[in-house]
């Protein structure tokens, strides 16, 4: 990035765009953000921030302002439901040894996603809006302008030294660099990679529905008691009706997010909007196949807060051949460049890494290096998310894959095997 007196224009005030602005400021490079939504827009639901993102947030003064607003996490428990026949003593006298199904929970694995000693930080589950509020406040503190309700439309001219562009309201602006931090449905991506076949999001076939429940309503068994090891929090519990994710997201652990996912048909943008607003229908989905879950999960699903329901349709992006336009003045970052699948909780984290390292890269050669290194790193993260999918399979299915011990060691990271991800790996030379 040049040390230019003209501000760099950033499209999108999501996690990547705001982090980029603060990172540029860290290197004394001015920027300005344009966001199509109004300032009053609230983005619902919690996200997980892993040590690789928190380390950068620490450098930017974000971490100290969010750490007490979220739930700190070390290991994530993978568990499985087990059907057990139990003697029903009430019926035994009359019918003789009649048995009743009971659903137990068995621990399968622990996935280390944060560790103060190993990585410097625990992971943090936190409301996304709380993170955005802090990032925006820090931008305001250092005088980075954010123009809301300002929607990027198209580029009018890209020269070797600048970019002129227009907003949907007809106004225009010129900048030395235009950075698209405009999310998975990025308009700016089509300038960098004009062929839609190579740059359009692809339907990944699944939908997650998440909602909040009060911890006191769900009343989970204590995982420290014998026989309850499978109830460690956070938890990804598998059954033959798929998985349920159980994650606290406030420091006191009093609010818990429950999430389920299913194969789903692709919908249009309007279709997704309609689905997202139909809380009753979504609630009914969350209550599907209740009988396969153990009692506390059933209770949680029945008592969740309908208004808190959020949907996450899974799209993936093809691996893009480039993240910068041919003339090099238009750049994409965050989900606009790489929509990382959900399994590793790395979508936003990779956006944070990409933004920080983009700001730190110096003009031309370093931008080439940034693009190359980041593309290689994100490809590794995407592969990890695919490997992690096998952890969510029922044990019999998993066994059929015949995966080696070394594979599991590398995926679980208990001895630092994931240092490349949670350490400095994504940004080390920039």
Ligand X SMILES: Cc1cc2nc3c(=O)[nH]c(=O)nc-3n(C[C@H](O)[C@H](O)[C@H](O)COP(=O)(O)OP(=O)(O)OC[C@H]3O[C@@H](n4cnc5c(N)ncnc54)[C@H](O)[C@@H]3O)c2cc1C
Binding site for ligand X (CB under 6 A): 11-17, 34-37, 45, 47-48, 151-152, 181-183, 187, 310, 312, 334-336, 345-349, 351
DSSP secondary structure letters along 290-312: GGGS-HHHHHHHHH-EEEEEEEE
The least CB distance from residue 43 to ligand X, in Å, is 7
Give the nearer residue to ligand X in terms of CB position, either 113 or 294: 113
Q: How far is the CB of 150 from ligand X (least distance, A)?
A: 6
414: Cβ–Cβ under 8 A, 6 or more apart, which residues?
A: 110, 112
Q: Which stretches of 241-364 are DSSP H helices?
A: 269-277, 279-286, 295-303, 347-360
Q: Which is nearer to ligand X, 104 or 147 (CB)?
A: 147
8 A C-beta contact, residue 207 and residue 197:
no
Q: CB-wise, 126 or 297, nearer to ligand X?
A: 126
Q: How far is the CB of 49 from ligand X (least distance, A)?
A: 7
CA distance 371 to 321: 10
Q: Measured from the CB of residue 340, what is the shortest distance to ligand X in angstroms?
A: 7
C-alpha–C-alpha distance, residues 338 and 322, integer Å: 11
Residue identified by tokens 């590793």 is 344
Nearer to ligand X, 347 or 413 (CB): 347
- Where does residue 362 rank: exposed (0-12), middle (13-18), buried (19+ CB within 10 A)? middle
- Which of 312/394 has CB closer to ligand X? 312
Q: How far is the CB of 22 from ligand X (least distance, A)?
A: 13
Strand partners, 107: 79
Taking the complex as a whole, how short is the minimal distance between the CB of residue 51 and ligand X, in angstroms? 12
Minimum separation from the CB atom of position 81 to ligand X (A)? 24
Q: In the complex with ligand X, which residue's Cβ is closer, 180 or 294? A: 180
Sign of dihedral through CA atoms 60, 65, 70, 76? Answer: positive
**Helices and strands, number each (H, E), in the chain:** 17, 18
The two three-digit tokens of residue 335, written as one number: 């989900």
The beta strand positions in 176-316, using DSSP E, are: 178-180, 202-214, 235-239, 242-248, 255-263, 305-316
24 or 81: CB nearest ligand X: 24
Asked if residue 234 has a cis previous peptide bond (ω within 30° of 0), the answer is yes
Closest of 222, 14, 245 to residue 125, by C-alpha: 245
CB of 197 to ligand X, least distance (A): 21
Which is closer to ligand X, CB of 37 or CB of 65? 37
Closest to 132 in 3D by CA, of 214, 37, 255: 37
Tokens of 32: 């300005």
Which residue's CB is nearer to ligand X, number 160 or number 170? 170
- Nearest distance from C-beta of residue 402 to ligand X, angstroms: 30
- Enter the DSSP assignment of 424: S
CA distances from 238 to 254, 259, 303 (A): 23, 12, 20
Distance CA 80, CA 165 (A): 53
Q: How many CB atoms lie within 10 A of CB 391?
A: 19
Closest distance of CB 423 from ligand X, Å: 17
Question: In this complex, which beta carbon is closest to ligand X, that of residue 120 or of residue 221?
Answer: 120
CB of 316 to ligand X, least distance (A): 12
Report how far residue 392's alpha carbon sits from residue 343's, in angstroms, rounded to the nearest whole number: 9
């Amino acid at each position: 990035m040049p040390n230019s007196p003209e501000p760099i224009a950033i499209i999108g005030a999501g996690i990547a765009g705001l982090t980029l602005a603060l990172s540029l400021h860290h290197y004394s490079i001015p920027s300005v953000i344009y966001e199509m939504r109004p300032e009053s827009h609230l983005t619902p639901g919690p996200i997980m921030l892993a040590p690789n993102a928190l380390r950068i947030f620490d450098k930017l003064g974000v971490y100290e302002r969010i750490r007490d607003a979220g739930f700190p996490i070390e290991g994530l428990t993978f568990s499985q439901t087990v059907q057990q026949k139990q003697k029903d003593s009430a019926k035994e006298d009359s019918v003789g040894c009649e048995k009743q199904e009971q659903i137990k929970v068995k621990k399968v694995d622990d996935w280390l996603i944060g560790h103060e000693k190993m990585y410097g930080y625990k992971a943090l589950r936190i409301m996304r809006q709380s993170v955005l509020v802090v990032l925006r406040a820090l931008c305001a503190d250092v005088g980075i302008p954010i123009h809301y309700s300002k929607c990027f439309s198209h580029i009018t001219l890209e020269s070797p030294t600048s970019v002129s562009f227009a907003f949907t309201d007809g106004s225009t602006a010129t900048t030395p660099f235009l950075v698209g931090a405009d999310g998975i449905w990025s308009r700016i991506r089509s300038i960098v990679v004009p062929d839609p076949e190579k740059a359009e999001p692809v339907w990944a076939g699944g939908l997650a529905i998440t909602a909040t429940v009060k911890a006191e309503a769900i009343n989970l068994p204590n995982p420290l008691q014998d026989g309850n090891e499978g109830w460690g929090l956070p938890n990804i519990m598998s059954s033959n009706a798929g998985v349920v994710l159980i994650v606290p997201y406030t420091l006191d652990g009093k609010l818990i997010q429950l999430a389920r996912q299913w194969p789903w048909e692709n919908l249009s943008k309007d279709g997704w909007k309609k689905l997202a607003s139909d809380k009753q229908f979504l609630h009914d989905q969350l209550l599907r196949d209740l009988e396969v879950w153990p009692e506390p999960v059933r209770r949680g699903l029945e008592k969740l807060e309908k208004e808190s329901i959020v949907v996450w349709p899974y799209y993936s992006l093809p691996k893009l051949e480039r993240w910068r336009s041919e003339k090099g003045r238009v750049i994409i970052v965050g989900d606009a460049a790489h929509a990382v699948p959900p399994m590793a909780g790395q979508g936003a984290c990779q956006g944070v890494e990409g933004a920080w390292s983009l700001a730190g890269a110096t003009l031309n050669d370093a931008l080439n290096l940034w693009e190359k290194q980041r593309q290689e790193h994100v490809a590794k993260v995407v592969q990890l998310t695919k490997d992690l999918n096998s952890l969510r399979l029922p044990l019999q299915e998993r066994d059929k894959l015949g995966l080696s011990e070394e594979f599991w060691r590398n995926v679980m990271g208990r001895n630092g095997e994931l240092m490349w991800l949670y350490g400095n790996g994504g940004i080390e030379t920039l």
